[in-house]
Structures are given as structure tokens and as C-alpha cells.
Amino acid sequence: MNAERRRILRSVFSGRMLVAALMGFASGLPLLLTGSVLQAWMKEDGVDLSTIGLFALVGLPYTLKFLWAPLMDRFTPAFLGRRRGWLLLMQLALIGALLVLAASSPAASPPGVALAALLVTFFSASQDIVIDAYRREALADEEQGLGASLYVNGYRVGMLLASGGGLIMADFMPFPQVYMVMAGIMLIGVATTLLAPEPAVKEGAPSSLLEAVVHPFVEYFQRPDALLILLFILLYKIGDTMASQMTIPFYLDIGFSKTEIGAVVKLFGFWATILGGLVGGVLILRLGIYRALWGFGILQGVSTAGFALLAFLGASLPGLAGVIAFENFSGGLGTAAYVAFMASLTNKRFTATQYALLSSLMGVPRVIASSPTGYMVEWMGWVPFFLFCALIAVPGLLLLWWLHGRGSTGYREALV
């Protein structure tokens, strides 16, 4: 066995990767407890649809988390260190917020439920800030891809347990008990925090709150091509994101039943995404982030074009299974490289703040670029729409190629 293969196997089977997966699980579990599961509880309690719709606003902390991320870079709790100390505090507060939500009543007091749900999302977003910073600091640069893939896969398992598992449990017990069970499952995250080592960061923490707030921006924008790299982050998965916004209406429009969509798209597709993330993480160890971003980006574009092929095939279950397997697998590959790339861009002195900013930026296409997709389908039709979504990946890839060719200071380490 050569040295390269031994290095890869040591990384794959290290305790660091197990911690990344378990932290991903703890990060993904709370997300849909204030989304689809809470919506089902409110509907069951007779809350009107307009109020249920307004509850989407409780998710704002996930978008605004960069506002308080500097506090977690600047200050270190008196126990467990800068990352594990904050993580334990946020996880215990999150468990408490879930218990408060369990004790609430949507029928009797929607505002009380909204406040409890807002506490859950605030502490969940705060947990995400620290977990992202921990992963960046605990893993070597060449391990960021594999660590990101295991984190994302753990995240998806946590989401599946909370949403699918939570709704199934709600058929056998009241919703408050479901939330108490989920609060208990969050103890897995607490145990991981207590047992994981605190990452050693030679750069140290910011010496003042002003430095923690201002210097992450100053340090980043002093780098050559800083704005262009932000543009790349916006463009890399934009076609994939736009296409996914319209896939469910597309499946229904060409004749698939809701049962077929649920069985093939949700269950079969979930495992294809998990496999793609795992394979992507291992390949990044061998290829480096630049070649992985380039290759996986091409696969993402080709897989998006597969929906145009499915439009010609019609309601073919083998065709649906093939397109979904390829699209979700390539999406898992691309996400692993994408998350690893963003982590590699952060300065470890300001990891929490810079990563929170980049991950918030990552969500912009999901909101802005996806909003006109319905109008685009009505104007273009399904086949041209999906071909457009495939081709819009090209500018991001060309920008990546150009940045790599320049060897810009500050990105050379990431684009190898």
C-alpha cells in the first residue's frame, strides 16, 4: 500500500471525521423542528394558514448569524476552550428552547410558540457558527473536503430524523412529546462536544471586539480578487439551485404520481446524495479542491441537463430513477467541494465570522435567483429551462479557471 493511500485511509477513519459527522447530525436535527414538523403541529391544532405562513420568519437567525458571530471569535468561555465552550453553551440552550417549545400550545398562544421557535432557531444558528469554525480549525486544509462531506451527510441524516421521524412519531404520541424526544436526541451533540478535543489555533483570538467585528472584513477584502471569489461563490451552484426550485412541479406536470415522487425522489435520491458526498470527500483528498470544484461542477451541469431528457421520456420510472440518482450524486459531490472551498478561504483568527458571512452569501441564490423560475418555465417551457440551468453553470467554472490561472495570493492554498 503506497503512502498516498495510507494517508487517505488515516484521514477517512480518524476520530476527527467521526466528530465532523456527529456535529453535522446535531446541526441538522433542529432545522425542520421549526419548519415542516411545527407546521404539521400547528395545522393539527387548527391554526390558520396565514399564521402558519408567517412562521417562516422564525428562520431569519440562519440568515443573520454573521451579526453575532464576532462575539464567538472574540470571547472564550471559562471552560472547554473557545470553540467547545461556546458549543456546549449553545447546545444546552438549544435543548432548553426545544423543551420550552414542547410546553407551548399553538392553539392557545401562537405568539408564545413563535417566540419559542425563534429561540430554537437562534441557538441552532449559533451552534452552526461554532461547528463550522470548529471543523475549519480542527481539520488540515487537505481534509476539509472529506470533513465537509461527512458533516453535510450527518446534517442530512439529522434533518431526515427530525422531519420524517418526527412526523411518524406524531402519529403515535402528541407533538409535545415528539419535541421532548428530539431534545433528548440532541444530547448526542453534547456528548460529542465533551469528548472532542479543542482545536489548537496558533493565530489566537482577536484582542478586542472591534478587531473581531472589523478585521474579518478588512483582512478578506485586502486579498486580490476578493470580490471575484464572492462572485464565484454566488455562481457555482446557481443552476443547480434554480432547477431544484421547479423539480416537484415538473414531475407532477409530466405525469408522475405523488407516491412515485416520494418513493424515488425523496428516499432513493437521499441515499444517492449521501453516497455522492462520501465519494466527493475522498476524491477531494486525491484531487485537491480546485480540480474537484472543476470536475464536480461539470457533472452538476450535465446532471441538470438530465431533467431536459426526462421531459422527452415522460413519466418513465427508470428514467426518473436514473436522472435522480445522477443529479443527487453529482450534487453531493459538488456540495462537498463547495463547502470545503469556503472553509479554506477563512482566516483561522476570524473563522466563525468569515465562515458565517460566506455561508450566508451561499444562501442568496436560493432566495433571489430561484424566485423568477416559475415565470421562466411559463415563458420558455421545461426543456429550454433545464438547459438554461445547465448552461448557467459555465460562467462560474470559467471564473474558477481564471482565478486559478492567476494564482491569486490568498487563494493559492485553496485552489490546488
**pLDDT tens by residue, 352-364:** 888 887 777 666 6
Q: Which domain range does residue 165 map to?
A: 3-200
Which CATH number does the domain housing residue 239 bear?
Answer: 1.20.1250.20
The tens digit of pLDDT for each residue in 382-408 reads: 899 999 989 988 988 898 888 877 665
**Helix or strand run (H / E) with residue 104:** none
Q: Spell out the residues 6+ positions from residue 101 whose beta carbon is closer than 8 angstroms to its own.
A: 33, 34, 38, 113, 116, 117, 119, 120, 179
pLDDT at residue 254 in the model: 84
Asked, for residue 295, whether it belongs to a domain, the answer is yes
The tens digit of pLDDT for each residue in 76-103 reads: 898 888 889 999 999 999 999 999 999 9
Asked, for residue 373, whether it belongs to a domain, the answer is yes
| Tens digits of pLDDT across the chain (416 residues) | 566 566 666 656 667 888 999 999 999 999 888 877 888 888 878 877 677 777 777 878 887 888 888 888 888 898 888 889 999 999 999 999 999 999 988 888 888 888 999 999 999 999 999 998 898 888 877 777 788 888 888 988 898 888 778 878 888 889 899 999 999 999 999 999 999 998 877 666 777 777 788 888 788 888 878 888 888 888 888 888 788 777 777 888 888 777 777 777 666 777 788 888 788 777 887 778 888 888 898 998 899 998 999 988 887 888 888 888 888 888 888 888 888 888 788 877 778 888 887 777 666 655 566 667 778 888 888 899 999 989 988 988 898 888 877 665 344 445 44
Handedness of CA 212, 218, 224, 226 (dihedral sign): positive
Q: Spell out the residues 6+ positions from residue 12 whose beta carbon is closer than 8 angstroms to its own.
A: 146, 282
Asked, for residue 413, whether it belongs to a domain, the answer is no
Percent of the chain residues topping a pLDDT of 70: 88
179 and 246 co-located in one domain: no
252 and 348 co-located in one domain: yes
Q: Spell out the residues 6+ positions from residue 173 whose beta carbon is closer than 8 angstroms to its own.
A: none
93 and 10 co-located in one domain: yes
Asked, for residue 207, whether it belongs to a domain, the answer is no
Check if the beta carbon of residue 273 is closer than 8 Å to that of residue 300. Answer: no
**Helix or strand run (H / E) with residue 348:** none
Q: What is the CA radius of gyration of the chain?
A: 21
140 and 260 co-located in one domain: no
Domain boundary among 179, 200, 221: 200
170 and 51 co-located in one domain: yes
234 and 139 co-located in one domain: no
Check if the beta carbon of residue 8 is closer than 8 Å to that of residue 285. Answer: yes
**Which cell is 18 given?**
467521526
Domain boundary among 161, 178, 200: 200
95 and 170 co-located in one domain: yes
Of 155, 275, 227, residue with least CA distance to 410 = 227
Asked, for residue 414, whether it belongs to a domain, the answer is no
Handedness of CA 76, 77, 78, 79 (dihedral sign): negative
The tens digit of pLDDT for each residue in 120-146 reads: 999 999 999 999 889 888 887 777 778
